[in-house]
Structure 1
Amino acid sequence: MRILVTGKDGQVGWELRRTLAVLGDVVAVDRTQLDLSNPEQAASVVRELKPHVIVNAAAYTAVDKAESEEPLARAINALTPGAMALEAKKLGALFVHYSTDYVFDGQATQPYRESDPVAPVSAYGRTKEEGERLIRESGANHLILRTAWVYGVRGKNFLLTMLRLAKERDRLRVVGDQIGSPTWSRLIAEATAALVLKTAEKPVAETLNLTSQGQTSWHGFASAIVATGAELGLCPNIPVDAIGTADYPTPAHRPAYSVLSAENLKSTFDIALPDWKTALELCLDDLKR
């Protein structure tokens, strides 16, 4: 089985290169080899490689910058995935794509289910929602995996930023009124490999939430990072103060509540990620080693 992975050096893409290797021949590419800002070029790469599975782990994720670069974000997050999915349809390939909690407006008071109405409130969210729709419309066998608050041991992410700032400052101030489920990139990659194994040779058209269990605020997440990081000698144990969203204005509007229910993933495919605290401890232990 030939598996094409985009975004090979990203948080999830880097982990996928390992988890998918046991399933077949992984061809991992970066933006120099497959340009997601160019739908025609990306589609031509798919036609040339003729993969059995495409895992699109690349995306435009600069949420605030997307407010001023929405056409570019739309090309990368919507138009190109749509074009690649059309090629997957022609090849009979499985197309796996990652989406986000930002397709929702964040006004809920209980975890979002896959069937809940989408209502993105930012340019980033709009482009990701359009990408979902174009993939469904392509008619390709597909898995759209919605995840949230992704972190890992590589790249730019909240975990590594908090560890760095804890070494540079006497105390941290972190937003405490936005709620979500921190999700380790390695667990996303492992779940993806399990899903590919279960679905690569079967008709499938699923949108699934893929996040760790439990929920917390950015402040709660930061506090756990600093406390556990200090125990492992990764940073000093400094105070972490909670602030409101209004105290940290950003160009893009963030969902206040973006917890996703992963019940369908468990009931349909018997896959469940651990609680976010357990996953964080595993990740930090891995980073320490």
Structure 2
Amino acid sequence: MRFSIVVGAALALCVVGTGTFLLLTAPDPMPEETWANLGEPDLANGERVFSEGGCVSCHAAPGAPEGEKLVLSGGMALKSPFGTFHVPNISPDETAGIGGWSLAEFGNAMKRGVGREGEHLYPSFPYASYARMTPSDVNDLFAYIRTLPKSANVAPPHDLPFPFNVRLALGGWKFLYLNDAPRVVLADADDRLKRGQYLVEGPGHCGECHTPRDELGGLKTAEWLAGAPNPEGQGRIPNITPGEKGLRAWSEGDIVTYLETGFTPDYDSVGGSMVEVQKNMAKLPAEDREAIAAYLKAIPAH
């Protein structure tokens, strides 16, 4: 009798614990009013946000020539320790892309990692950074993407082994790592520094590559932008803090020139995956590159 009571109590605790976990980690879309009354989207700003986020770097077809990079057909394979993720089509095609999506559906994917069917999205899509974007910028970006060419390409499904193919577990990952708090605290930040922080930590999602990750794939924010192993498995993504191993010898002007032209202070040129990033940065207004430079010189050194 006593054994039965103990077993029953243990089972009850398991049920309660499982229910609590599922409640705390369920997909959490934003309130509908977040996307209401944002006004007519600003397409010029949407194009600017598109460049800030470097959307073509992942969502254009692999190897697409310059004239076809605005066709966001997806298909790129992103290798990781957890398996291979295949980048989806986000062109305005109504079937293969996001042409049939509402602003709320797009916004929830961007800021909460929630798919159109209410499912958790994998953080290979950097919503953990996009969570810091303003609803207004998301609205403008969505409107701009809808002006781009359509593609009927359907990307293959992700190739992930168990247990990483279980989306339910992503709720726990979000519980640990998804928030919209600043990555670093900057004292006495002026408007330019605040703008740089927004660009780097939000749409620019620089930390997704330049910050090391723990065993669960979460960013080690105590080592913010301190460099990390290349997720593709070759080489290392550099330290871009103002520390000795990073950009200590670079002035703000050097950083601005690099983002605009691709040339370093010692006349080397940008390489690797940063080539596409730099091309996107070159399309931004000068004040955005200056804001990014100011931020990178103000963050903690590593």
- TM-score normalized by the length of structure 1: 0.28
Q: Which is bigger in relative contact order (C-alpha 8 A, separation at least 6)?
A: 1
Considering fraction of residues, name the structure with more strand.
1
- TM-score normalized by the length of structure 2: 0.28
